Structure 1
Amino acid sequence: MDELKLLARSLPDAPPPRAEVVEKARARLAAARKEPVRPRQAGRAGWRGRTWGWTLGTAAATVAVVMAVVALVANLTTAPAPPPVLAPDAGAGALLRLADRVAGLPDDSDAYWRRPLLDNGLIRVRAGDRAFNVLYSDRIDLWQPRDPGDPVQAEQRKMFVRPATPADERVWRAAGSPTTLKRVCAPGADECMKVRLRSKPSDCLYTRAAEPGGVFGDRRLGELTVADLAALPDDAIRLREVLRTRWEGREDRMGQVSFEEFLPRAGYLLEMPVRPSVRAAALRLLAGLPTTKVIGPAVDPLGREGLAVTFNKGRGSFGEFGADDEVPEVYATILDPRTGTVLAHTTAAGRSIEGAAKGTMMYYQAWAPEAGWTGERPERPRACRLSDTPIP
C-alpha cells in the first residue's frame, strides 16, 4: 500500500508536502514497523494535489499509517495547536476521555449560533450510452440568535455538480462534455429527474424572521428554545430523565420507538447550541448505551482529524444508487476531538456496486470550519431570493 496515496484520498484539500516531509514520514513509518526505508523510485508518479472521491477504511494498520503521516505534516507546517492524540479504543473509554476534556471548556456568550452545513453526495448519471458518477454539493447556513427577538436567518445554495473522479470526467468528456445529464434510477422509481452540471454557486434562497417563542429550528428532540437548551442539566443521569420527559411528550411515541430506542438521539445534542458541560453529559450518556460503538481515529471529508463513532450499532440500512435500490449503507459520525461537536456524518457503500467500490463515500454532511457561536450578526445575502417556504 502507498501510504501517501491513501493520505491524498483522505485529505482531498490538503496542499502537497515538500519532498523532505515525505522522506521523514517514510522514515518514521519504517522505524515504527522495523522495516528498511525504501528510496523513492525515479519516474514514479508524484503526489496528487486533489482527488474527487473518498473511501472509508476500517483496518487498524491503515488508521495508523494515515494518522502518522498527518501528524508529521502538521508538525512541520504553521497550523493551530494539534488535537489530542486519539488512540484506537474498542470500548467507551475514548468517549469518556473526550467528555472529560469537553467538560472543562468555557461557556460561550456570543449573540448567534451559526450552523453552516455542506451536503455532498454521489449521483449515477448517463450521457448517451455512457454511465458515470457526478458529485453534488449544497450548502445551508443557519444563524440562530440567543435573543428570541432577533431574526433567525437561513440561506441555501447549490455549490456545484461535477464529475466525481478523474475517471468519471474522462467518460464525461468522451460523451461530448454535455451540461445536462439523465439520472440513472432504480426500476419503477417515481422521479428520475435530469441533472445539470454547474461549477459555480447558484439558486440561492434565504429566509429571515424572528421565530415565535424563540423555538430552535432543529426539532428532532421536540420544540426547544435556545433558553431550554441552555438550561439542560450537565449530569448524565439527570439528562437521561429530561430526555425521558421529551420522549413521553412526543405524540408519535406510542407504537413508534421505545425509550431505549429513543436514547441514542442524545447524539443530536452534539449538533445543537448547548453548553460544553451539557455536551460532556451527552457524551457520557451515549458512552453507556449498548447501541454506541467507537470506531476509532478518522479523517473527515474536509481533512480534519476526529473520532469516528456510531450511535446506532447493529442497525442496518439500505439506500438507492443508480439502478440499484438496495445498497447496504455504513454510517459513521466523526466528532471534533477538542469540543465534542459533530464534524461530519458519512455514509459509505457496504458492498461494491456499479460505478462505486465497497467503502466509497456515497454521502456526507459536514459542518464548515466557521460553525459555532459568533459575535457577528447575519447580513441579508446578496443575489439571493427570499423564500416563502422554510429552509431545512
Structure 2
Amino acid sequence: MDEVTLLAQAIPDVPQPSAETVARARARLAALDDPVRRPRPLRRWAWTAGAGVATIAVVTAVIMLVSHLGGVPEPQPAAPPAFQQAPRVHQGLHRLAGARMPQSATKTTLRFRPTSERIAIVLFCQKPGSIFFSNEGGSSAGGTCGPDGAPSMLADKAHEPGWLGRDHEITFWVFPPDAPVVRGRKACPPQGSCDGAYELSGPETADRLAAELGSRPGAWSVAAYDVQAARPLHDIADRVEKLPARTGAYWRRTLTNGSLIRVGAPGAVYRLKEEARFDWWQPRDPTGPLMTESRRLFTRPATAADEKAWRAAGSPAEVEQACMGGTPGEDCARLKLSSEPSACEYTRGVDAKGLLPDRRFAGLTVAEVERLPADPARLRDRLRTLYDRRTRRSFEDALPMAASLLNLPLKPGTRAALLHLLADLPTTRVRGQATDPLGRPGIRVSFWDGKGMSYPGGEEAPTEFQQILDPETGRILAEVTVLLEAREGLPKGTVLHYTAHTPGDGWTDERPEEPADCAKKRR
C-alpha cells in the first residue's frame, strides 16, 4: 500500500482527488525521492480534513501535495488536432488565414495577403500519405500530407516580383492516400484518366477525381503562415478574455458623429465642423421600452482660419455646402450655423424585434449576441449561418464586416474570439497607435478594404475607413474616414468623418428618461 492509497483511507470525510490528480501526485512523490533532483518548496494550502489529517507524517505530506495539485485550476482543454483546426503558430510564423474540411476528396479556397517572403502554406491531413493539389491561376503544386503538416510549394512564389503585397486565392484539394492518382512523371491524356488513375495537372482533373470518389473519411486543414502583422490584436484579445462579464437592465450606446464640410463661394472657401449625438437605450427585457435620442450639437467653423474666412464672408447664419462641379445649386444642401445644441428628437416604445442598432453584418438581439461562441472556429461557423440568411455576397468576402459586431454587447470571451478571428483575416491591417476624435489613445485598424472616394473639396479624393480600438477592452472607440492624399489645405491623414463611442457606452441599471427639451417622434 503506497502513501496515496493510505491517504484515501486515512481521511474518508474528504472528497477523493481525481485519478489524474492521484497520478500526478505519485509522480511528484517519486521525484521527491530522487536524490539527484532538488524538490521545490511545497505551497501550504489549507485543506479542511477533520481529525483524519493528523495521522502520520507521510499522510500529512501527501495531503499537502495532493491538495496543492487539486487546488490549481483544471487544465485547459487540449487544442484540437491540426487537421481539425490549423494551429495559430507554426514554426515561429503566425496564421494569416485558414480553412478546414471534415472529409477528404473535397476542396476549399484559402484567401490571404502575404506580408513577407517567409510566407508558408501548410496542409495538415488526418490520414498520413493523403494526396493534395493546389492551384492559383496558371500555377499548381501537389504532394502528400499528414498530421504533422506539409508545405505547398506555391509559397515559393513569394520570391517572384509582384507576388507579395496583393491578395491571393488558392484552391486546395485533398484526396485519401489510396486515391487513383498518377505518381511521378507519367503523362496522361489531357481528358479522362490514365489506366484508371488521374494525373493532377489542373483544377478540372482534380474536380473530376473528387466527383468520382465522393467525400471520404479524413479531415484536413490548410493555413497560410507569415510574420505576424496583426500581433497587437491577438494581444488585445488575450487581455479582453480575462475581463469580467458585465450586465444590466439596459445596454446604452452613445455616439458622437462629426464631419468636415466645405462651404463658401469660389475664392472664399472655408470649412465647417458639424457634430451630432445619438443615444440608444436597448432593454435586456424585450418587453421593456426602447428609447433613442438624436441631437445636433453644433455646426461652426472648423479652425481659427476657417472662422476668419467665415467672418470675412459676413458671418452668415446659413451657408451652402460646396458641391461637385456641375451640380445644380438647388441640389446643394444649406446648413444653419449654431454653437448650441439644437434639433433634438426622440423615440420611445417597445420594439417587437428587439434588434441591436449596428446591423451591418447581421441584425441580432441581446439574447442572440449572448449566445455567440467564445471559440474563434465555432464563432466563424456561427457567423456563417447569420450572414448567409441576409445577402448574396460570399461569406468570405463579407467576414471582415463582422468587425462591426465589436460595437455590440459581447461577452469578454466572445469579443476575444472575434478579435482573434479578425486578426487572422487577410484584409486586416494594423495601422499603429492613434488618438481618437475624443482624445483617447487607441490602436488604428483597417479590417476590410475600406478604401473609397470622398469629396472634401468638391473633387474626388481617396479615403480609407478605419476603426480605433481600445487596447484594454477591445471595444471600438471610433470609426473614422481618413484622407489618403492631401486636398485643398487638408493634409494626408485628415479625418473627414467620424463616429466616436462616448465613455457612457455599456450595460447599466439606469432607466432612460424622456428628455423634456426634445420633440417626440413616432416610431
TM range (shorter): 0.7 to 0.9
Q: 1:295 aligns with which of 411, 418, 431?
A: 431
The question of 1:358 aligning with 2:498 is answered: no
Q: 1:156 aligns with which of 294, 305, 310?
A: 294
Shift of 1:357: 2.4
* 1:238 matched residue in structure 2: 378
| Aligned-partner Cα distance in 2 for 1:375–1:308 | 32
Which runs of at least 4 in structure 1 moved beyond 3 Å after TM superposition? none
Structure 2 gaps, min length 5 = 1-226
| Aligned-partner Cα distance in 1 for 2:520–2:327 | 32
| Aligned-partner Cα distance in 2 for 1:189–1:375 | 50
* 1:221 matched residue in structure 2: 361
Shift of 1:126: 0.7
Residues matched between the structures, number: 295
Counterpart AA for 1:354:
E
The question of 1:286 aligning with 2:428 is answered: no
Q: CA RMSD in A?
A: 1.7
Q: 2:454 aligns with which of 289, 295, 319?
A: 319
| Aligned-partner Cα distance in 1 for 2:233–2:314 | 51
The question of 1:203 aligning with 2:343 is answered: yes
CA offsets 1:229-283 (integer angstroms, 9 cap, x no match)? 0111000000000111112212x31xxx221111112211110011111110100
* 2:388 matched residue in structure 1: 248
| Aligned-partner Cα distance in 2 for 1:128–1:318 | 22
* 1:348 matched residue in structure 2: 482
Shift of 1:90: 6.7
* 2:334 matched residue in structure 1: 194
Helix, strand or coil at the partner of 1:337: coil
Counterpart AA for 2:408:
M
Shift of 1:186: 0.4
Structure of higher RCO (CA pairs closer than 8 Å, 6+ residues apart): 1
Aligned pairs for 1:89-168 (under 5 A) are: 91-126=229-264, 130-168=268-306
* 2:148 matched residue in structure 1: none
* Mapped contact 2:298–2:341 kept (Cα < 8 A): yes
Relative to the length of structure 2, the TM-score reads 0.55
* Mapped contact 1:90–1:295 kept (Cα < 8 A): no
Shift of 1:128: 8.1
Helix, strand or coil at the partner of 1:269: helix
Relative to the length of structure 1, the TM-score reads 0.72
Counterpart AA for 2:500:
A
Q: 2:464 aligns with which of 316, 330, 340?
A: 330
* Mapped contact 1:206–1:385 kept (Cα < 8 A): yes
Counterpart AA for 2:509:
G
Shift of 1:129: 5.3
Distance 1:283 1:128, change over 3 A: closer
Helix, strand or coil at the partner of 2:264: strand
* Mapped contact 2:358–2:407 kept (Cα < 8 A): no
Helix, strand or coil at the partner of 2:516: coil
| Aligned-partner Cα distance in 1 for 2:285–2:326 | 49
CA offsets 1:333-377 (integer angstroms, 9 cap, x no match)? 100111100000111222222242222221111001111111111
Distance 1:359 1:278, change over 3 A: same
Helix, strand or coil at the partner of 1:285: helix
* 2:509 matched residue in structure 1: 375
Helix, strand or coil at the partner of 1:277: helix
| Aligned-partner Cα distance in 1 for 2:353–2:395 | 28
Helix, strand or coil at the partner of 1:233: coil
Helix, strand or coil at the partner of 1:328: strand
Helix, strand or coil at the partner of 1:270: helix
Counterpart AA for 2:446:
T
Distance 1:284 1:188, change over 3 A: same
| Aligned-partner Cα distance in 2 for 1:215–1:165 | 39
CA offsets 1:196-249 (integer angstroms, 9 cap, x no match)? 110100010111111104232332233321101011100000000011111221
| Aligned-partner Cα distance in 2 for 1:204–1:186 | 30
Counterpart AA for 2:229:
G
Shift of 1:332: 1.9
CA offsets 1:290-324 (integer angstroms, 9 cap, x no match)? 000111111111111111111014x5211122321
| Aligned-partner Cα distance in 2 for 1:146–1:298 | 33
Shift of 1:331: 2.5
Distance 1:172 1:370, change over 3 A: same
Structure 1 gaps, min length 5 = 1-88
Counterpart AA for 2:273:
L
Q: 1:181 aligns with which of 319, 325, 328?
A: 319
Greater C-alpha Rg: 2
Counterpart AA for 1:161:
T
| Aligned-partner Cα distance in 2 for 1:247–1:280 | 20
| Aligned-partner Cα distance in 2 for 1:332–1:128 | 32
